[in-house]
Structure 1
Amino acid sequence: MGLSEIAAGLTVTTRQEERGVATVDATDVPLAERLAPYADELPCPVEPAAALLDAYGTGTSVGVAASAAGLAPTMGAKVLHRLGVAGVTPLSPLAREVVRDWLDGELSRREAVTLSGASAAEFSLGAYCETHAPIAGAAEIVTAAREPDGSRSLARRERDAFAETFDAPAELR
């Protein structure tokens, strides 16, 4: 008996639900207003930055979230980086070291791009990430906007509630 014979007469009767990343904003103040103190440090106005965060929080890619916010994908990545969202740089740790060497004047740009293995656009975004630190205080606002109680995720609260039920070596506690 082959697969086609086994599958004969089978029909799908239910549909899979689309599920995104669950986010709960525990504050009453709109995200754009909470980001307003950092407006001068952001590479775009706070309204598109807030729209970008909202779109990115649904689990979409940086490019899709940036498009939804009316931003170019590279600008979206810059904004997310400045707001403290981890993992936005397209460069590997070794490529980031190459960018730092270029910034220190130890390599020419051509050498650095070649050694990094990145495209020109990836290299430029990586250089931006290396020369612009996340904005102090902004990451806390982003975190608070994404966690149910503003300080700890649901998984973390559940883990804390059942901490005494887990066995772990004493040195890891």
Structure 2
Amino acid sequence: MGLSEIAAGLELTTEQVDRGVATVDDTDVDRDARLREYESDLPCTAAAAGTVLDRYESGASVGEAGEAAALAPVTAAKLLHRCGFDGVTPLAPTARQVLRDWLDGRLSRADALELTGADDAEFALAAYVETHDPIPELAETVRRDAAAPLAEDALVSKRDALAETMSTASDLR
């Protein structure tokens, strides 16, 4: 089969539709306004929360970020958890299960403390993390500010956002 046989039936057109440049822009979310909106659900003021988030996102430790906002490290960790940051719980998965048993009333606090090996501050922080879910609207805002994907997969997010501009195999017939 030659090239001319392969190209048989193909047509060229001189007309092209200018569709412009497709963009996805999530920068219009005002993090400070969102923090003020959910301030009553946070363990600190919105202003302190903004400082902690700025410092933490620029690479400071939880303690350093809290110190910059005049907050205890445990309060900064609580804030980060409420804003959707993972990994602020001081307990390993097995110890978290022991904590859940205590929260459900199946263990005494003394037994749970002994089994987890945590000190009082670690235990209190872990209990806060277990009993307070992240605030989805704040987590979304923080992810957008950090230029992280809007969903679990950046490729899927972009595909969904630009779905109208994409063609499918059925469009090629």
> TM-score when scaled to structure 1?
0.69
- Kept in 1: contact 2:56–2:65 (CA 8 A): yes
1:54 equivalent to 2:91? Answer: no
The Cα shift of 1:51 comes to 0.7
Please give the alpha-carbon distance, in whole angstroms, between the structure 2 residues aligned to 1:55 and 1:30.
Answer: 17
> After superposition, where does 1:79-94 map in structure 2 within 5 Å?
79-94=79-94
Task: Look up the match of 2:97.
Answer: 97
Aligned residue type for 1:52: V
> After superposition, where does 1:19-98 map in structure 2 within 5 Å?
27=27, 30-98=30-98
The Cα shift of 1:28 comes to 5.5
Task: Look up the match of 1:23.
Answer: none
The Cα shift of 1:136 comes to 2.6
Q: Secondary structure at the match of 2:58?
A: coil
> After superposition, where does 1:87-166 map in structure 2 within 5 Å?
87-147=87-147, 151=150
Unmatched 5+ residue regions in structure 1? 1-25, 161-173
Unmatched 5+ residue regions in structure 2? 1-25, 159-173
* Cα 1:74–1:133 shift into 2, 3 Å: same
State the number of aligned residues: 133
Q: Secondary structure at the match of 1:140?
A: helix
* Range with bigger deviation, 102-111 or 26-35: 26-35
Output the aligned Cα RMSD.
2.5
| 1:74-103, Cα deviation, whole Å (9 max, x unpaired) | 100001111111111111011110110001
- Kept in 2: contact 1:84–1:134 (CA 8 A): yes
Please give the alpha-carbon distance, in whole angstroms, between the structure 2 residues aligned to 1:34 and 1:137.
Answer: 8
- Kept in 1: contact 2:102–2:112 (CA 8 A): yes
The Cα shift of 1:27 comes to 2.9
> TM-score when scaled to structure 2?
0.69
Please give the alpha-carbon distance, in whole angstroms, between the structure 1 residues aligned to 2:116 and 2:142.
Answer: 31
4+ residue runs over 6 A deviation: none
Q: Secondary structure at the match of 1:137?
A: helix
The Cα shift of 1:34 comes to 2.4
